[in-house]
Amino acid sequence: MDIEQFVAQSIGEWRSMRSGHSLAFQQFEDVLSEISIKRFTEDHQKISELIQASSQPTNNQYCAPFCMEWNAESDWEPDDPSEVSSGSCLIVPIPMDKKSGKLLRSVGYAESAAAESDYRFLEDGTFILNTHYEQSIAEERIWFISEHVRCRSSVLKTSAGSGILQASFASEVRKIST
């Protein structure tokens, strides 16, 4: 598995079940959402801006940029339809070698500023993403169970010390259009 293949396999519409675990408070949060992952082909200006705002040299080659959109419905307020969070994000991989590289995101996962992550692939194709935010460190893992089912875990730690803030897990099933 390399980043090109990984992005190709991820392109599509996904139905996601995500459970968040607040470890300190032993609280669960279950969220259903729709995720759309599309190749980003149009606007090279946006890609250049993202690279320029990062710590990466602008002459590094990126590949397979994509855009992720999500619409989530939280279970905290089941009677309140306004409790829907949604967003979108441009993601630009910059491979260092076949198995690892950098990944730039216009919106971070744990904090809303742009984020710069290190990615690598394990020998079985598991994708691992490490991101240092100002207040926290996130480790995300994505692995495919089959062509149309993938799992995504993330763990958030405090950047000072070893406190674990939050773990979450999403199982994502591709929506097959008929």
List residues binding a second copy (CB under 8 A): 15, 17, 19, 21, 23, 26, 28, 30, 32, 75, 122-124, 126, 128, 139, 145-146, 149, 151, 153, 155, 157, 162, 164, 167, 169, 171, 173
What three-state secondary structure class fits 8? Answer: helix
CA distances from 100 to 23, 51, 97, 119, 124 (A): 30, 17, 6, 5, 14
CB of 79 to a second copy, least distance (A): 17
**What DSSP string describes 35-91?**
EEEEE--S-HHHHHHHHHTSSS-TTSPP---EEEEEEEEESSSTT-TT-EEEEEEEE
Shortest Å, Cβ 42 to a second copy: 33
Compute the distance between CA of residue 165 and CA of residue 21 in angstroms, rounded to an integer.
Answer: 9
We find the least distance from the C-beta atom of residue 137 to a second copy, in angstroms, to be 10
Q: How far is the CB of 50 from a second copy (least distance, A)?
A: 28
Q: What DSSP state is assigned to residue 25?
A: T
Nearer to a second copy by Cβ, of 47 and 173: the residue is 173
Q: How far is the CB of 46 from a second copy (least distance, A)?
A: 33
Q: Which is nearer to a second copy, 56 or 171 (CB)?
A: 171
Query: What's the rounded Cα separation, in Å, for the pair 80 and 59?
Result: 48
CB nearer a second copy, residue 49 or residue 118: 118
Nearer CB in complex with a second copy: 59/146? 146
